[in-house]
Structure 1
């Protein structure tokens, strides 16, 4: 009965002129088709199993996200220069530096806001709203930007003009052939900085809190200027330890993404079954 109820188009029977509502009598009159009891049981068992598998993947994904949240706090150095949790073989104090000494920071090029498609793709604020580079939410221009604006794999995009809740959001460039658009800053790593490590470092609570506290508030959005951002303090271990930490979190992110893809697939399959297994 439960998937049967979910498959009914309840909006079709809406009796309201404002807040959606249905009377008991209307609900009682809705006609539905029932198979024989043994087929009902088979269908019910199938949807129960699918729901259980979806719940299992949701729990695993939540556990991994919670684990990552804890490790982001413990695997990066605190104020005394040492992290609480480290890989074996590393014991040196982390070096306190400024962000501008670890990366070069640059602004982007203006695109054409009226274009829904174009010859050249550009990043914009929406492109990193979920913390990853979303190629479905890029801007465009038909005028080829200067080659210096072409993003490299491993560059980091930083949201410096946005609402306070999104200030400091970052994404790692993992797709070639995209140019750097305005309203996002571009970080290019210096020789002794690992991009995956810095990406994860910028996702920690202290770094995000610093961004919010140093942003200039405005009516609709806040901003951090490039000079102020370059002064942000950041602790760095040796490049070898950076790479170890960066690789670890990259693999953890892949595992979380794998569970998300499985969840999306299972939910899509369930939706398809709901459409095809009921009259």
Structure 2
């Protein structure tokens, strides 16, 4: 009943309590449909709470339909919990800057007593102890869920009010740092997106070393800028120990950040080492040729300085080796433009799973500047991408730090 990490000046054991014991009331939300946002009254539903940050999502705001009563208003100190579906247990702590807000029926509101620090109660919902409890409690024959009575019985340990405030203030400061890092990340991503469009539509042009204009751009089909090399349709089932590694289309969708280097982790394969395989080289581009939606179809990664690693193209990929006419990074960044995404949408085939054929990809027309301008563009966008990755890494480090403190500072 004593945490392993504690602020100086506090001693003694924590006491056991429940959600019901620290709440004035535990209430169900408003059972009405959502309608267009009226400019004032927000309607928070399970989907309006971010899965990662647990903050209210400002995009696509809605209002509750029909008449509204103060009974369903969310106030400072309230904590909302999802009571049904795959997101059961997801929590949100109301903040005054989120504005006038009503809560929907699939959420439960905890109105915390003034004698308890509401932020401390909210941080309890970020613990592994709480997640395990939710997993067990929500197991039902049909739709998973936890009702108000069950939430009321959730047990946890609590110190004095002064120690509660000290702990919650510490985590509030840590959350602010994470939010600021996330905001910087989002702003830089938006900047890159805007610059990509302006560069590839030639609104922004680069100059040569003498300050002179580069030649006009051409349009050249991908098939005339290199050739495709072999890929191998190995499934996840043979991943294991081995000297060969593969780039699987699923990893292009979810794990890989666009650029493969000597430090990038790739899954190894337990395959015949006596066989001969076509290895990928620096500068090769690997496209995902299958996806459940068109937003990830055709997504690419590029190999840079992989230091003689034995890497092969994997399942559902097209592997392209550019010739000297085109810079690999330039081609990779072109695949992040609106023009490329429109091409994918037109050429996608399939219904539940979409595919991109090699002949279709070969016909892709690339807006092609002089090779020296390509390299200037690539260098500029690469540096910007590195800054974005650094911000993302710092945010991840803060989140890992927060998890570590949560595990040590609560009982």
Q: Give TM class, smaller chain.
A: 0.7 to 0.9
Between the aligned partners of 1:47 and 1:191, the Cα distance in structure 2 is: 53
Cα 1:144/1:206, change in 2 over 3 Å: farther
Q: Name the structure where strand makes up a greater proportion of residues.
A: 2
Between the aligned partners of 1:202 and 1:12, the Cα distance in structure 2 is: 40
Higher relative contact order structure (alpha carbons within 8 Å, sequence separation ≥ 6): 1
Cα 1:251/1:144, change in 2 over 3 Å: farther
Alignment match, 1:141: 271
Alignment match, 1:269: 401
Between the aligned partners of 2:357 and 2:225, the Cα distance in structure 1 is: 17
Cα 1:12/1:211, change in 2 over 3 Å: closer
- Aligned residue among 372, 375, 396 for 1:240: 372
Matches within 5 A, 1:208-227: 208-215=341-348, 217-227=349-359
Residue 101 in structure 1 maps to residue 219 in structure 2: no
Deviation track 1:92-136 (CA, whole Å, cap 9, x = no partner) reads: 311111111122223313436531314222222223113535744
Between the aligned partners of 2:215 and 2:357, the Cα distance in structure 1 is: 33
Tell me if the contact between 2:222 and 2:362 (Cα under 8 Å) persists in the aligned partners. yes
Between the aligned partners of 2:237 and 2:369, the Cα distance in structure 1 is: 45
Partner-residue secondary structure (3-state), 1:271: helix
| Shift of residue 219, structure 1, vs aligned partner | 4.4
Between the aligned partners of 1:16 and 1:227, the Cα distance in structure 2 is: 48
Partner-residue secondary structure (3-state), 2:311: coil
Structure 1: state its 5+ residue gaps: 78-82
Bigger shift: residues 181-190 or 133-142 = 133-142
Tell me if the contact between 2:240 and 2:267 (Cα under 8 Å) persists in the aligned partners. no
Between the aligned partners of 1:55 and 1:257, the Cα distance in structure 2 is: 16
Residue 47 in structure 1 maps to residue 179 in structure 2: no
Deviation track 1:18-65 (CA, whole Å, cap 9, x = no partner) reads: 5321434x5455443333333323212210110000000110000011
Alignment match, 1:156: 285
Tell me if the contact between 1:14 and 1:22 (Cα under 8 Å) persists in the aligned partners. no
Bigger shift: residues 9-18 or 237-246 = 9-18
Bigger shift: residues 203-212 or 221-230 = 221-230
Tell me if the contact between 2:297 and 2:355 (Cα under 8 Å) persists in the aligned partners. yes
Deviation track 1:148-204 (CA, whole Å, cap 9, x = no partner) reads: x11112211012244442321111124332122342111112112111111001221
Q: Name the structure where helix makes up a greater proportion of residues.
A: 1
Cα 1:104/1:30, change in 2 over 3 Å: closer
Partner-residue secondary structure (3-state), 1:172: strand
Who wins on radius of gyration, i.e. which is larger?
A: 2
Alignment match, 1:191: 324
Between the aligned partners of 1:146 and 1:197, the Cα distance in structure 2 is: 31
| Shift of residue 12, structure 1, vs aligned partner | 7.0
Tell me if the contact between 1:121 and 1:140 (Cα under 8 Å) persists in the aligned partners. no
The number of equivalent residue pairs is: 271
Tell me if the contact between 2:245 and 2:311 (Cα under 8 Å) persists in the aligned partners. yes
- Aligned residue among 199, 204, 216 for 1:85: 204
RMSD: 2.5
Between the aligned partners of 2:188 and 2:289, the Cα distance in structure 1 is: 29
Bigger shift: residues 43-52 or 133-142 = 133-142
Tell me if the contact between 2:214 and 2:373 (Cα under 8 Å) persists in the aligned partners. no
Bigger shift: residues 109-118 or 36-45 = 109-118
**TM value normalised by structure 2:** 0.60
**TM value normalised by structure 1:** 0.85
Structure 2: state its 5+ residue gaps: 1-119
| Shift of residue 13, structure 1, vs aligned partner | 7.5
Residue 57 in structure 1 maps to residue 189 in structure 2: no
Cα 1:102/1:145, change in 2 over 3 Å: farther
Cα 1:35/1:184, change in 2 over 3 Å: same
Partner-residue secondary structure (3-state), 1:141: coil
Partner-residue secondary structure (3-state), 1:267: helix
Deviation track 1:231-271 (CA, whole Å, cap 9, x = no partner) reads: 22111111111111101111111111111111111111111
Cα 1:86/1:138, change in 2 over 3 Å: farther
Alignment match, 1:71: 195
Tell me if the contact between 2:286 and 2:302 (Cα under 8 Å) persists in the aligned partners. yes
Alignment match, 1:3: 123
